[in-house]
Amino acid sequence: MGEAIKNRYEFVILFDVENGNPNGDPDAGNMPRIDPESGLGIVTDVCLKRKIRNYVETVKEDEKGYKIYIKEDMPLNRSDREACESLGVEETDDKKVTEALKKLKRSDPKADEKLRDYMCDNFFDIRTFGAVMTTFVKAALNCGQVRGPVQLGFARSIDPIVSQEVTITRVAITTEKDAENKSTEMGRKSIVPYGLYRVEGYISANLARKVTGFSEEDLELLWEAIINMFEHDHSAARGKMAVRELIVFKHSKELGDCPAYKLFDAVEVKRKEDVIYPRKYQDYIVNIHEDKIPDSIEMKRMI
């Protein structure tokens, strides 16, 4: 990997959904997530991180240094054992691995640091977002919890959304017995007719240098993944989703030049006055008040 980034960043992402469900709530029958008090739509941080992980996995295809730790059909302890094997721990049973790691720690005080570095060097999402690695936590190693330099908040819609249930039909019948009594089957899907969402993110150069080694190359890949995170994730359930804006603030130094909220406040998104029911991105206006941004900070619109 290259040298760790030297500048702190904040960023704002605007994305929209049209006739789709951006993030279903399993506690509410997979209906779109909504703030019950304000009616604003919500998309969780883990949902967005999943899109970024999937894009990197699609583009890099397990290239060295760009594996994905949290992915489908891959137990996490299997990836943990790769790091163990790099230090000579060949056990496969979880209990034996834990005991072997404890023994290794007694003989090598830097074992936890070596394991952490191995995981950060090989897995892009650990280097970026951090991770909780249970195998190492059970062995009481300090590397079990890694805090990543890149953090996202929840996305919230600019205006309240309407969660709509649409009834759908299917001409194919599930079983022969059912076919004797009916010729179609019915189902339901939940959609948001339109919603524009805003999410804010942070990148700590300090954590990148001290902990994970998140590099300039990783940063460029992250921007690419954010811009394209919905392009290879289309499905009937999600409808039409697209990233509309990626606004990046680059500080002049590692610890930054001003509080993050001042930069976020400089980005104003509002519905046009003559629009009652927004149904497209063009129904909104995005204003960036550059007079509120310190001169030492570089602002760039990536899209």
Average per-residue pLDDT in the chain?
93
Q: Say if residue 188's pLDDT is above 90.
A: no
> Amino acid letter at 3?
E
Please give the pLDDT value at position 36.
Answer: 94
Please give the pLDDT value at position 208.
Answer: 97
| Angstrom distance (rounded) from CA 271 to CA 118 | 48
Q: Say if residue 127's pLDDT is above 90.
A: yes
Q: Say if residue 187's pLDDT is above 90.
A: no
What angle, rounded to 10 degrees, do the helices at 76-86 and 111-122 form? 120
Q: Which segment of 53-67, 116-130, 159-173, 262-276 scores lowest on mean pLDDT?
A: 159-173
Residue 142, both tokens: 């300090």
Please give the pLDDT value at position 107.
Answer: 83
Dihedral over alpha carbons 88, 90, 96, 102 (to 10 degrees):
10
CA atoms within 13 A on the CB side of 204: 16
Mean pLDDT of 162-186: 85
Mean pLDDT of 171-178: 84
pLDDT tens-digit series, residues 217-232: 999 999 999 999 999 9
More confident residue, 129 or 135: 129
Q: Say if residue 31's pLDDT is above 90.
A: yes
Please give the pLDDT value at position 1.
Answer: 64
Q: Say if residue 250's pLDDT is above 70.
A: yes
Q: 213: alpha, beta or left, given left = phi > 0 and alpha = psi -120 to 50?
A: left
Strands 31-32 and 40-43: unpaired
Residue 253, both tokens: 């130094």
Q: Say if residue 192's pLDDT is above 70.
A: yes
Please give the pLDDT value at position 154.
Answer: 98
Q: What percent of the chain has pLDDT over 90?
A: 70
Q: Which segment of 4-8, 25-29, 51-55, 83-87 scores lowest on mean pLDDT?
A: 83-87
Q: Say if residue 123's pLDDT is above 90.
A: yes
